[in-house]
Chain A
Amino acid sequence: MPTESLPKSLKTFHDIGFEEIEHTADCALHIFGNNLPELLTNAAIGMTSLIAFEPSSIPDDTERHVELEAMDAESLLVEWLSELAYWAETEMLIFHRFELYNVTPNHLQAVIHGGHASGLKKHIKAVTYHNLEVIETEKGLEVTVVFDI
């Protein structure tokens, strides 16, 4: 859920970039974006809010270059979030600033900025494809992502 301490998600037609929704066993985010780069950015910020205790206190001293290929927008979203979950688990690296380039449903390039955390609030085991569908509405894009935790 967005709070004062979070990196600001990009404001969308829905006023917020994402919201946490109820799921019996795991956790899920409903994510919004005016376009695909915004949707991906808000998804990343949303995931950071799940895993970091105080995203605002994480240093901004590390960057990574990311390039991903995928078969469609949904797979791209899973790949993108899985990338961030991987760095969080293996190096306690949390990212809070995302510059995305050349985004298509099959491709993205990004420079992501963040730093090392001393601990994580939640462990994301995986990003699932459960009922995953990027829905195009008159106002923009939305998607619900379920995480295995």
Chain B
Amino acid sequence: MISNHDFKQINKYLYEIPKTFRADMRVPARFYADPELLKAIQGDRSLEQLVNTATLPGIVKYALAMPDIHQGYGFPIGGVVATQLPDGIISPGGVGYDINCGVRLLATQMEKEEVTPYLDDLASALYANCPSGVGKGGHIKLQPGELDVLVEKGANWALKRGYATESDLEHTEENGCLEGADSGKVSDRAKIRGKNQVGTLGAGNHFIEIDTVDRIYDEPAAQQMGIFPSQITVQIHCGSRGFGHQICSDYVKRFQKAIHQYGITLPDRELVCAPLSSPEGKDYLAAMKAAANYAFANRQVLTYLIRRSFEQVLAGKVKNHHLYQIYDIAHNMAKIEEHEVDGRRIKVCVHRKGATRAFGPGSPVLPGIYRDIGQPVLVPGSMGTASWVLVGTKESMTQTFGSICHGAGRVMSRSKAKKIVRGTKLREELEKKGIHVRAGSMPGLAEEAPMAYKDVDRVIQVVHGAGIAKKVARLIPLAVIKG
């Protein structure tokens, strides 16, 4: 257990575990928190997991954790690790099984009052049209060989199939396609798992949510994004489904053998890794990109199904029910980026495991309309609580390799949440608050109870206060669809 005297406070929201804490650390470990979140962080083994990531070969500056950090497997969830090219490592466990799990925010020109009478119908339509739940396949039938095209083209595949607009792609991280994806590096099992799951939500903490804009914090940035008070928006949270899960499993297995070859010793086998320059490292990166593209295509097909649902319910009743995309971001990914380390710009592989890219203003990879305000960052809260839209800052580039948190972060295990909360009662409580709920499983709903998570507003205050992101808008939920 890591106690208070094992770390020092750098400033109001930043703490550091020095490199001297453990002999195998290559860099210090830093984490963002306030006193309340610090207590929650010390309630599980996440700091020990953070220290473990500081031992990875090729790591530069610090092993980092965001204020939503909690115990994962290998990396903590909320962890950020950058390794230097060409020989620094890449770790499949540092990306996670749900490769390119991410969040998409869609917006409308409608305000809450116009939509309130139709919310229940909208929730039902979304639940009926967007396949969700354990083992549920999708409506999309792929032709032989089409999955290979999909995973190499990402959202471009969806555009060609009529599930996307050009504007959707422009408002997606990497335009919805990572270059260099190679379906030849993906196993048959991954393809079997992935072939029927395009356009599906899955289960667990994945969701579709109709929200309304509760408050604007940064008027110019909100205006630039097309966000205004009382506006109706929709969030999608999901990833690469069984396709990505299998790719991660395949490479974690393959890397178990490879580490001996490269003389790497690790404190936890789930941290298994290989040099980026090695055949194993290159193959994983190409396969991971395929999974990332699958996830972009998946969220894009869900976007199409959400648009159809809005059309079904609102056509002829409410004007301007069209949904346009604000942004789509990944929060489980490894990406080759250029960052400043020790006064010079170098290429690094940034692992974000439950952390979101948050590039500041001026970044050339951002779409033109966001280049002056910084990258939109989408941080969903727990079910029934607020979600946030932020922008990356110059500080995020210097402090965190352009990264911030990805959610509220769990504090309670799923089994404990189920013991304390009954799914049916939780649904009643949410409905009383005016939140329409559709869920495939009541125990699954109980696992995601708000009390199992940290206070998202507090988490956001930490990243805002630390200067690594800026609040733009707070959203509150009106309808939640879960598998």
Note whether A and B form a binding pair: yes
B355 touches A (CB below 8 Å): no
Is B74 an interface residue when CB atoms closer than 8 A count as contact? yes
Known: A119-B135, A121-B443, A148-B245. A23 touches B71 (CB 8 A): yes
Q: Does B242 contact A (CB under 8 A)?
A: yes
State whether A129 and B272 are in contact (beta carbons under 8 Å apart), knowing that A24-B410, A92-B135, A119-B134 are contacts in the complex.
yes
The answer on a CB contact under 8 Å between A25 and B416 is no
B96 partner residues in chain A, CB cutoff 8 A: 148
> Which residues of B sit under 8 angstroms from A121, Cβ to Cβ?
134, 441, 443
Inter-subunit contact A86/B416 (CB<8 Å) = no
Q: Are B270 and A130 in contact (CB under 8 A)?
A: yes
Tell me if B135 and A89 are in contact (CB < 8 A). yes
Q: Which of B73, B411, B416, B444 contacts A148 (CB 8 A)?
A: B73
Contact partner of A126 among B46, B70, B134, B248, CB < 8 A? B248
Q: How far is the CA of A57 from the CA of B134 in the complex (A)?
A: 18
Number of chain B residues close to chain A: CB under 8 A: 44
Q: Is the Cβ of A25 less than 8 Å from the Cβ of B77?
A: yes
- Which of A123, A127, A128 is the one whose CB lies under 8 Å from B135? A123
- Distance in angstroms from B262 CB to nearest chain A CB is 15
* Residues 99 to 122 of chain A near chain B (Cβ within 8 Å): 119-122
What's the Cα separation between A138 and B72 when bound, in Å?
31
Contact indicator A90/B134 (Cβ below 8 Å): no
Known: A25-B71, A25-B410. A20 touches B252 (CB 8 A): no
Tell me which of A25, A71, A90, A129 contacts B270 (CB under 8 A): A129
Q: Are A89 and B73 in contact (CB under 8 A)?
A: no
**A143 is an interface residue with CB less than 8 A from chain B:** no
Do B97 and A126 touch across chains, with their CB atoms under 8 A apart? yes
17 pairs of residues in contact across A and B, judged by CB atoms under 8 Å: A22-B416, A24-B410, A24-B413, A25-B70, A26-B414, A71-B257, A74-B269, A86-B246, A89-B135, A92-B135, A121-B441, A123-B203, A128-B97, A129-B256, A130-B72, A131-B268, A148-B73
Binding site for A on B (CB under 8 A): 44, 46, 70-74, 77, 93, 96-98, 133-135, 189, 192-193, 202-204, 242, 245-246, 248-249, 252-253, 256-257, 268-270, 272, 410-416, 441, 443-444
Q: Which 7 A-B pairs have the closest CB atoms?
A: A130-B73, A129-B269, A120-B134, A123-B134, A130-B270, A128-B73, A24-B71
Interface residues in chain A, defined as those with a beta carbon under 8 Å from any beta carbon in chain B: 20, 22-27, 71, 74-75, 78-79, 82, 86, 88-90, 92, 119-123, 125-132, 146, 148-149
20 other contacts beyond A27-B415, A119-B135, A126-B249, with CB at 8 A cut-off? A22-B416, A23-B71, A24-B410, A24-B413, A25-B72, A25-B77, A25-B410, A27-B414, A79-B253, A86-B189, A86-B193, A89-B193, A123-B135, A126-B97, A128-B74, A128-B93, A130-B72, A130-B268, A146-B73, A149-B414
